[in-house]
Amino acid sequence: MTPYAATYDGRTHDVYKVGAGPAVIVIHEIPGLHQGVLAFGERVAAAGFTAYMPHLFGAVGGKMTVGASLRQMARACVSREFSTWALNRTSPITTWLRALAKDAHRACGGPGVGAVGMCLTGGFALAMAVDPWLLAPVLSQPSIPFAITPARRRDIGVSPEDLAAVKARDVCVMGLRYTGDPAVPGARFQRLRDELGDRFIAIEIAGRGHSVLTEHLDVDALERVLAFFADRLRPRAEG
């Protein structure tokens, strides 16, 4: 995969693109666009979609290690693009991601676009769902704001205005987590149920894993994500 530079709102990030078909924005986790995320993007492409994988931080193609993860987490904590601590706030980087999704829909066609965030970026797909072309948002182990207080454990990482806009749309949201993962407390998924009702599809896996779609891959969860994309992104005549 050869990246291209995408610039929106004065910010530029490389984007790796693979596949053909409706677009899916794959937003990588800590520590970067590592091997597991690239492999997930290839799986999305093999399922009949165009995977757009923006490189937001960290290295490309490396392994997920504890050291690399800690370094990138520390940098994210002081970055203005990520709201890692604040309550009821949408991370500024989602504005750039929404612009990428709009361009991807224009380029790939189809009914709309999917998006999946992971860990630090897990909640970004929810904020992106304010736009009408975002039809399949997936929140994989959404981990910010950091769950260090009861209020933060229930927070879902979007502003009240963005949440209201998502709720006003008829869009389903999928969430993935391991039940024993302290970074993604059950209270956060309960808040999503409270806000979205039957439009929140929760996939909760017993165990103490974290990275549902990469390092601690759950095959059933992967298949359900790909089916979610297929149901909402493929033209009905082809379904």
Q: Is the pLDDT of residue 85 over 50?
A: yes
Distances (CA, A) of 159 to 36, 42, 165, 190: 30, 32, 10, 17
Helix H or strand E encompassing 140: strand 134-140
**Residue range 153-180: average pLDDT?**
96
In 3D, which of 21, 19, 62, 23 has the Cα closest to residue 43? 19
User: What strands, in cross-sheet order, belong to the sheet with 50-54?
Assistant: 4-8, 11-19, 50-54, 23-27, 113-118, 134-140, 173-178, 200-205
Contact 167, 158 (CB under 8 A): no
Residue 74, pLDDT above cutoff 70: no
pLDDT value, residue 78:
52
Q: What pLDDT does residue 239 have?
A: 40
pLDDT of residue 25: 98
Q: Are 3 and 55 in contact (CB under 8 A)?
A: yes
Compute, in degrees rounded to 10, the torsion defined by CA atoms 56, 58, 62, 65: -120
Work out the average pLDDT over 27-39.
Answer: 93
Across the range 109-127, mean pLDDT stands at: 95
Say if residue 69's pLDDT is above 80. Answer: no
At a CB cut-off of 8 Å and minimum separation 6, what does 100 contact? 6, 8, 15, 25, 52, 54
* pTM recorded for the entire structure: 0.93
Instruction: List the chain domain ranges.
Output: 14-164+188-234
Q: What is the pLDDT of residue 80?
A: 72
Mean pLDDT of 182-205: 97
Lowest mean pLDDT among 38-52, 56-70, 166-180: 56-70
The pLDDT, as a whole number, for residue 134 is: 98
Confidence of residue 183 (pLDDT cuts 50, 70, 90): very high
pLDDT at position 145: 85
Fold of 14-164+188-234: Rossmann fold (3.40.50)
What is the Cα gyration radius of the chain?
16
Q: What SS3 class is residue 42?
A: helix
- Please give the DSSP secondary-structure letter assigned to residue 13: E
